[in-house]
Every structure is written in structure tokens, then in C-alpha cells.
Structure 1
């Protein structure tokens, strides 16, 4: 029997395809080699008593320490010449990220730069010098004791966890990453013109990238009271917005786009030796690509002022250890109430972190506990009625509280509707007020002395904790109805954080309040 010969065109096509595949593999190989040669690595843990066990990046929970250094190296003097920012600089952004073993959750805990803690003895890998243990040392200084591995050792000491990897980015990494992904949407309630960080934004939603993205993350003065709390909230909001963008555009499942991101940051990224291979970095993207945004949680470490020096912070031990216990159990900080192993539900509430300024000073955020003796929001014979289920009855006269309702939803007569609903709950002075523009998120803003009223209203309307902000109104409370609240009398539920933890999830859109710098 004669063998049928393949037509010439098919042979040519097959040869061409084979050549293209070989060329493509070679191209990818060259690109991966180029990327690998750009990545700087450093030892994972410089602690002298380090005894890490091996971790399986595919099946174990992973702890990854994210660091942002303020080093001015390779910036050409563009950001000033702070003597403390030579060499590795200080780690002004510190976030501990846990990837759950079941690939269903990501928890990111923000650690304030002014936190006083124990920095264990560390050995500098370059010089062999041993830095002795430091008691009550500022956490962000650990970077100067030999590099990021000493910060890893300090975080292990603080949390009782074992950090598996670290990633340290510099100023250029932030600029290049935000540029390659096409920017990140951020929201501010008032125009921002911060002469310190050079952040300039109009009121409302803006897309920032490059220098403006870096300024948004670095600013010490633009948000809240100009301290650590406002900055941490802004960073959490920024990362939540970035997560929404990457998810909506399918970036985490798009290998060419992932490569572009890796290429953008590799030149400015320092990682531990276990992440120095590009496939290892891409494997992390595979771990998080299918996580629901409601299970991506950004949590603030519960802290309080350090009494001998109110410019510094210390962890609230009970609340902080409760948070770390959840992480040690590979638990869920977004779990509903009801308790159970590894959940935040059913536990005493952890309170928000105290305010600490990024340059070492501590500001007092406007608002606080209402004076029970006199002033707005004071106790009276009458109390607010119709409070949320299981909420404590507030100690103020609801009928006497000035409440303005602004419609920034872009829909109908929402200010009138919500004000009428609040009057039915006993807030007799709730009235609609003029509003300009639109806001993506519903917020409750309060003047000094009205925090308790604001939080009671938040419970009534289902407004999440990150959207209850000091400032933005001269008197009383302002309820800003956003585009997420176009109907009904209670905001559609988002997962949020359980157990009284402070922070937000990636599915929550939040705006920043100007600090009046």
C-alpha cells in the first residue's frame, strides 16, 4: 500500500510553527533570565536563634512580610536627604500578609512604623556584626540592623508566627508598578494639595499612578489627623482598590500581564532567597487569583499610646494576641459572629489603633467619647430609639442631635428619603442638605464631640467602620449617601471585618478625609 504524503504546504506550516514555538520558548527563557538577574535577594531571617521549618508554597498557609523602604538610594536626591534613610533606610510601610492554606482568604495586617516592640539579636550578613537585642525599639528601625531579615525576626517575635518570605519595595517599584497596571482609583472628600508629599488631587475619584501614587501612599499630613491612623487607612484603601482593578481585568490569570508587572518591579524589589526565582513569584499569583474580594482583609494592628512617650505606640496585648491567634490557626478575620476555631466572631472587640504621626509626633483625631456632663451628644432623659439589633443603647438624646443628609448617590431624592427614615428613628433634626458631585461610597462624617452619634447612625444605616470619619463637617454629623446606597434604608451588607477589628475588605470602596494640613 502506498503511503500518502503530506502536502508541501502542511510541511511548511508545521516547520514554521515548530520554529515559532522554539523561538517563543527561547524568548521566554531569555526574558526570565533577564528578570532573575534584576532581582536582589537577601537572607530571610537574621535572628540568631532562627530555626525555620520548610514550608510548602502550594499547600501550607504562607506568611509574607511586605516592606516599603524610605531609602533615597538611586533617587538622585529627588526625595530629600534624610540621614536616617541612607543605605537600606527604614521600613515605613510594614504589612504582614497571610495566604490561607485553602486558597480562599488573604489577610493583610498593617504594622505601624512607630510601634515599640522587641527587636531580637540580629547578625548582619555582610559584616558579621551581631546587633544585640533591643527592648522597646521602634519596629521600623529593625531594617538598619542588617537588612529586612532583622525585621522578619522582629515580626516573628511580635506575632508568634513564622514569616516564610519577604518582599521589600523602594520608591521606584511603587511608581513603575502603578504605571504598568494603568493606575489605581482613589477617592478623597476634599481637594488635596499636600506641599510635603506633593500630592495634589481634586475632590472625588481620581486615578493615580507614578509619582502621584507614591505621594498618596507616603503622605503624612493629608489624611485624618495627619498621623499613622490616617496614613494606614489610605494605604489599605489604595490596596483594596488595586485588588479590585486587578481582579476585574483578569490580570492574575493573564501570564503576559503578570510578566509585565514582574518586569516593572523586579528592578526595584528585594526578596528572600526563596522567592528569587520568577516561577516562585508567579506561584504566589496563582495562590490568590480566585480569592473572593470579600475575603481579602486589611486589618490594623490594635495599638495604644506608650505612656512615657506619647509619640510612640505599643500593641494592645489582649486584642493583638487575639488577632495573631486567628492567624496562627489559619483563621478568618471576616467570619460572622458565632465563634469557633480560627474566626474573629464571638470574641471581645478589638479597638482601633491610636493615632501616631509618621514623623514621630502623635496627633489626636477629632472626636472621642462624648462628655456625659455637658456638650453636644450628651446624655439626656431621652435616648436614641430604634437602634440596630443587639447594639447598646447610646447615651445621648437622639432628638437633639444635628444631622445633615447629603445626596451624592446621583439618584433621585435620596437625601430626603434617608433623612425621613432617620427622623422616624428619633433623630428629629435630620434634614437634607445641598451636595455637590457624587461619591462612590456612603460615609458618615462627624465634628468633634459627635463620634458616638456617628457610630450609632452607622449601625442604623449599615455603614462600615472605615467610612465613619472625623472632620468634613463643622457641627454635628453629616451622612453622605453614596452610589452604593441608591435605595432602601440600610446599606447593602459587605463582608467587612468581624470581632471589632479595624480595617476593611477589598470589596469595600472607601474615601479619605482631608487632614486639614
Structure 2
């Protein structure tokens, strides 16, 4: 539509035709739009316009080049291996998100110098396994390490490429989860162990570590004594050192240089390395510097495999953008609590109840650096029951009873081996000394059952454990009171509360930690 023009003395004017505007000599109709009117444009304006056009075209070409290059770098694989999911895909920008980070020990291609290919059959094993948990408000990150020697149950997994089905396995090292059916099987295994549903994964090989450490100009690490590990070829002096390239990879790979030469010392060293790397990236402003980010993105994506949901440059940039402003004191590094496995002292099993407490805290999105922080938002207050009317007779309080004489049993349906003992101790601590323990089939929801005449006792036991009154139920077959603990009560002495070991956090990204050298590898 042609815009109406106001002309003197006529109010709102009628639309002016192009022909009139081009050829009229009437000044009231505005300047004639002959092509020759631009001939008088200053030279500086022409040059500026041309320069801006070149910069715009060049910038678009540069951006397009990097988007295409980075996109071509990315390899992808399925997120799961057949296990069903109950949660919808997350919004990568605004939702809480868990990313499983894996280091592959495959010896193919550039990694062949670290051993023969037959040392890593199939998809390879996970040399490093960590889960990064980013809060929805981007104010904290928890990084949970899983020891490679941890014995776990691996669910049935289907290779999404070939369709081959691998049966479930029990008591298998967690690093073997992706060996046959791929990365998705490792994701399903961690989901089964933790009760979470991982949203994404990132898997890098040996070369990624070398290239990343070179790209940032080295990472500072610290060790108590000079060491040399002939297996990984790590050689470090006592104190602080800058490692990059081969030495950075050796620092992360060594299985013998730290503590007692076991997997737990290796995990603490890996966490110390990542803490130092986080501090350096934050101090250098890397996440806010497009040129530095492009350099790192290029070297990392060349050695990275991600799930389909992360297999785009914008998705990866979204993750980086969420991390750039997080307070490093709120980046918590944790290891799954373990104990020597009963079947093999050279392997590890989850330590209970500490492991279940950690997993329950993760499921409830607890701040591991401050477990006592109040949840947000707080639940809405429930309406109180109406006061009795004057015509309603007020019931008298039931007669007092002797807690020491009341039979209470604790049935463990949580699936956590030591929970009955933990809950029984809480009941005994409340004055009920006649407490027995039972093994029960796993159930989802906790209940307190009571036999005839034990309603008041059941209510008091439920209040002691903070089990809702709606879950206190009559059951004629029960003698006394029975606390049937379910999957909603896997942690702590109070239902809904989270109990965590005081030392669950190994360190935060703000801590500078010097690793303890393995005495057997100290050099002088």
C-alpha cells in the first residue's frame, strides 16, 4: 500500500502515483526520483558503504565456514540401548540437565600408539566415566565420577546399529557397559544404578585430551612427590607443574601414580585436573571469547561423539553458554561411595547406605555443596482441618502406652541392602526397643501398617520417621506395627529428608588440591 501524504490546505492527501512523483515539477509533491539524484553522493559515503558490505559478506562467510566445519566434525550415536524412558526431552537452555561424559579407551586410528587394537574390542571400554549435573538455574554443577572397577548390573542392551541383543549381566565392571552394544548401553547402566534418566552424553578419545590441553596452553597440576609411572609414561616433579599434550593424557590415564595406586586415587587426580582446567578457562575468559571458543570447539569436536540431541553446533554452544557464569565454588566433584567387592578385593562395590544417599540427593536435586539449603520453591501450605463445632463431642486422648513394649518390625522393600538396619536404629532412637527387621519384596511406596489396637503406636512411629499420615494403614494380619519401607525412602532417618556423608564432596573447582604420590613410584 502507498502511504498517504499530507499536502498544505488539503488535509490528508490522496495516494500519489509513481508517475507523478517521477515527472512532476510541483515542489509540493517532493523531490523527483530520477536515477541521477544519487550521482552527488560523497566519495566517503560510497567507500564506507562498500566496506560495510564487504565486512558483512565476509562475516557471514566466516560464520558459515565455522558452523559447517564444526558440524562436520561431530560424530553421533544413540542415547540409549533399548531401555524405556519416562521423561520428555529436556530444554537444553532452561531445564536441569545430566550429561554422561565418557573417555574411550579405543586404540583405533590416532590412538593406536597407546596399545594394540585387540585391547579394545567392539566399541571400546569407558576409560573415564563422569556424570555432569547442571541445575536449572545455572548456579551449580555436580560432577559424579564412577570408578571403572565398580561392579554393577548391566541391563539388557540392544546394539542400535546391528539390532543384536545382549542379555543382562550381573556383577560386571561398569567400564564394560558400552563394550558390546555401544555408548547407549553405558547410559542405560548409569540410569539403572542411579535412578536418574541421563539427557545427553559426550564421549572423547585419548587424542581429545591432548588437543584440549594444548589449546588452553597447559593445565596446572600438583603432586606431593616426584613420580614416574612407566605404564602411562607420566613423569612429574614434586609440587606444581604445567601439563599438556602427552603429559596431560598420562596424568589422566595413570592407574598407579597416585595414592595407593588404585582407581580412587586416579579419580581424585582427574577431578583435580578438571578443577584446574575449569579455573583456567574461567580466569582466561575463554567462554566469553569467540576466538578462543572456536579454537577449543574445533579441536574437541574432531574427537567427540555425542547423542543425536546434542549433534548440532547450536546445542553445544548452548551448553557452553550455560556454564560460563557459574561460581566455581558451586562446581562439586564427587565420587560414588565404594567399598572392596566381597567377591573380589581388587574390584569395588557401592558402599551402602552412602551410595543410596547420594543417588537420592541427586534425584531430589540437592545442592551437594550445601545439603541443608532449603528446597525451592517451597510446597504450598495445606488447608488445616476445620475446628470441631460446639455440638461435636471432643474425643479424649488415648491412654499412654509403654514404647518399650510395643512390637515394631521394619520390612525393607527399598532395594537397598542396609536400609532396614538404618531405619530400625531410628525407631529404636525414638524409644521403641522391641524392633525386628525383615527382608521384603521391593515396593515403590512406603507404608506403616498396624494391627488391631495399635493405631496410636503406628501414628507415633510414622511421625517419628516423618511418613505422611495418609500412608498409615490398618492391616489385621500385622501383629503390632510394621514399617514397610519402599523406593521413596532410600535415604536418611526421615522420609523425604536427604542424609549425606559429610565428606561426600571431594573438592570444588575453587579448591587447589595437591595429589598424594604413590610411595612405590616416588623418584628421588
Q: Shorter chain as normaliser: what TM range?
A: 0.5 to 0.7
Which residue is equivalent to 1:229?
264
Tell me by how many angstroms 1:92 deviates: 1.5
Aligned counterpart in structure 2 of residue 512 of structure 1, from 515, 521, 524: 515
CA distance in 2, matches of 1:203, 1:137: 37
Per-residue CA deviation, residues 451-491 of structure 1 (Å, 9 max, x unaligned), is xxxxxxxxxxxxxxxxxxxxxxxxxxxxxxxxxxxxxxxxx
Which residue is equivalent to 1:53?
88
* SS of 2:57 mapped into structure 1: helix
Which residue is equivalent to 1:92?
127
Contact kept, 8 Å, 1:114 with 1:313, in 2: the verdict is: yes
State yes or no: 1:65 paired with 2:68.
Answer: no
Aligned ranges for residues 367-406 of structure 1 at < 5 Å? none
Contact kept, 8 Å, 2:152 with 2:171, in 1: the verdict is: yes
Moved more, 157-166 or 28-37: 28-37
Q: Under a length normalisation based on structure 2, what TM-score does the superposition of the two structures give?
A: 0.67
State yes or no: 1:155 paired with 2:190.
Answer: yes
Work out which of the two has the higher radius of gyration on C-alpha atoms and give 1 or 2. 2
Per-residue CA deviation, residues 10-64 of structure 1 (Å, 9 max, x unaligned), is 2221221122111211121122111111111000011343444121111110000
Contact kept, 8 Å, 1:258 with 1:282, in 2: the verdict is: no
Aligned ranges for residues 286-301 of structure 1 at < 5 Å? 286-301=321-336
Contact kept, 8 Å, 2:156 with 2:168, in 1: the verdict is: yes
Aligned ranges for residues 2-401 of structure 1 at < 5 Å? 6-75=41-110, 77-81=112-116, 83-335=118-370, 338=372, 340-341=374-375
Per-residue CA deviation, residues 319-361 of structure 1 (Å, 9 max, x unaligned), is 112112222222200016x46449xxxxxxxxxxxxxxxxxxx
* SS of 1:221 mapped into structure 2: coil
CA distance in 1, matches of 2:258, 2:218: 20
Contact kept, 8 Å, 2:332 with 2:505, in 1: the verdict is: no
Runs of 5+ in structure 1 lacking a partner?
343-496
* SS of 2:514 mapped into structure 1: coil
Contact kept, 8 Å, 2:125 with 2:179, in 1: the verdict is: yes
Tell me by how many angstroms 1:88 deviates: 2.4
CA distance in 2, matches of 1:180, 1:271: 21
Per-residue CA deviation, residues 363-403 of structure 1 (Å, 9 max, x unaligned), is xxxxxxxxxxxxxxxxxxxxxxxxxxxxxxxxxxxxxxxxx
Per-residue CA deviation, residues 424-451 of structure 1 (Å, 9 max, x unaligned), is xxxxxxxxxxxxxxxxxxxxxxxxxxxx
CA distance in 2, matches of 1:262, 1:286: 13
Contact kept, 8 Å, 1:293 with 1:505, in 2: the verdict is: yes
* SS of 1:60 mapped into structure 2: coil
CA distance in 2, matches of 1:55, 1:232: 29
CA distance in 1, matches of 2:46, 2:373: 66
Per-residue CA deviation, residues 296-320 of structure 1 (Å, 9 max, x unaligned), is 0100110111112111111123211
Aligned ranges for residues 454-465 of structure 1 at < 5 Å? none
* SS of 1:187 mapped into structure 2: strand
Superposed CA RMSD in Å reads: 2.0
CA distance in 2, matches of 1:249, 1:509: 17
* SS of 2:366 mapped into structure 1: coil
Contact kept, 8 Å, 1:47 with 1:120, in 2: the verdict is: no
Contact kept, 8 Å, 1:178 with 1:210, in 2: the verdict is: yes
CA distance in 1, matches of 2:82, 2:152: 15
Moved more, 314-323 or 237-246: 314-323
* SS of 1:144 mapped into structure 2: coil
CA distance in 2, matches of 1:141, 1:215: 22
CA distance in 2, matches of 1:6, 1:104: 54
Paired residues, what number? 363
Moved more, 147-156 or 317-326: 317-326
Distance 1:318 1:498, change over 3 A: closer
